[in-house]
Amino acid sequence: MTQSGHWPLKFAVMHNRSSGVVGFKRRPQGRAPRKAAITMKTILVPTEDNSAMRSALDTALLLARRCDSYIEGFALRWLVADFAAFDPTGGTPLETDRLAAAQVETQARQIFESFMQGHNVPRSTAKIEALSFGWLDDAPQGEDFVGSYGRVFDVIVLSRPGANETFVHNRALYSGLFESGRPILLAPAAPPPQIATNVLIAWNRSTEQARAISLAMPLLQKAKRVTVLTVIGGTEVPGPSAEQLIHYLQRNGIAAEPMSVGLDGKNTGQTILAAAQSTGCDLLVKGAYTQSRLRQMIFGGATRHVLENAEIPVLLAT
């Protein structure tokens, strides 16, 4: 018996009913119990009627096929004000706005379900635990719902922000990043033919990057190649070295390799994306906003550059 009062796990307790004597028998030697495989089984896709939506759906499906996941969509809509019947500037009546919001949901659902059905993804049922899809009816309006509802999914997929995106989309991206506790999978304009087979980790020693790696572990463990990038002279904070990170990954069964590059006249974000291109990776794992979001909005930063320019899927977390 241990000091805590428990019998050692490697022994089986044997009790003789007639004598009342308790004995021990060593359990047969063999393989240790297999750990349950961790993976990304639930994917949330806020859905809009815009030109970038196809990219987000393509990226979500790539991930879902790799992980045998359930994909759920809902209509991402602007929040209709409930405190005034009319726009004070003499604009559209509130009831008209509500009707327009309902039409947006109908269009979003049609886009989402047509895509899934066109790619032979079955609708989810109680008996389907593999690749499937579902739709959330009457999702609350506004971008805040992305951050709250995203907490019960493994990952949220959104297209890259841009000048052509609505303010709701861009605010939804930040809601997911800062409020869900889950990673955002940022879809590029043209997704690669596969995802998370060759992964680049942009290591800057930060808490945000460590969290992104932790959330990406299901994908890292399935990847054929994992590279840990150090940008010499780039933006970083005090913390463990790339070598220490690689040791951590190796202990989790991930054979990662190091890569170091200098800035060579570029900023940190440009250097990260150049390294991603040179390695031919199909997923970048990056902690978001090690520097404050406000500072990056004003002065620029690695996260902002990656958000605006990445041409591969990016898994982001804060």
What domains lie within the chain, and their CATH numbers? 42-187 (3.40.50.620), 198-317 (3.40.50.620)
pLDDT at residue 25 greater than cutoff 50: no
**Which pLDDT score is estimated for 87?**
52
Record the tokens describing residue 178, joined without a space. Answer: 């800062």
- Averaged pLDDT for residues 3-20: 45
**Which pLDDT score is estimated for 101?**
75
What mean pLDDT value characterizes the chain?
A: 85
Confidence of residue 163 (pLDDT cuts 50, 70, 90): low
Selected residue with higher pLDDT from 142 and 5: 142
pLDDT at residue 151 greater than cutoff 70: yes
Burial classification of residue 298, based on how many CB atoms lie within 10 Å of its CB (0-12 exposed, 13-18 middle, 19 or more buried): exposed
**Which pLDDT score is estimated for 48?**
95
Sort strands 155-159 and 184-187 into parallel, antiparallel or unpaired.
Answer: parallel
**Which pLDDT score is estimated for 39?**
83
pLDDT at residue 170 greater than cutoff 60: yes
**CB-based contacts of 103: which residues, under 8 Å, 6+ apart?**
none
pLDDT at residue 13 greater than cutoff 80: no
pLDDT tens-place string over residues 59-105: 999 999 999 999 999 999 988 653 344 455 555 565 666 787 789 99
**Which pLDDT score is estimated for 86?**
42
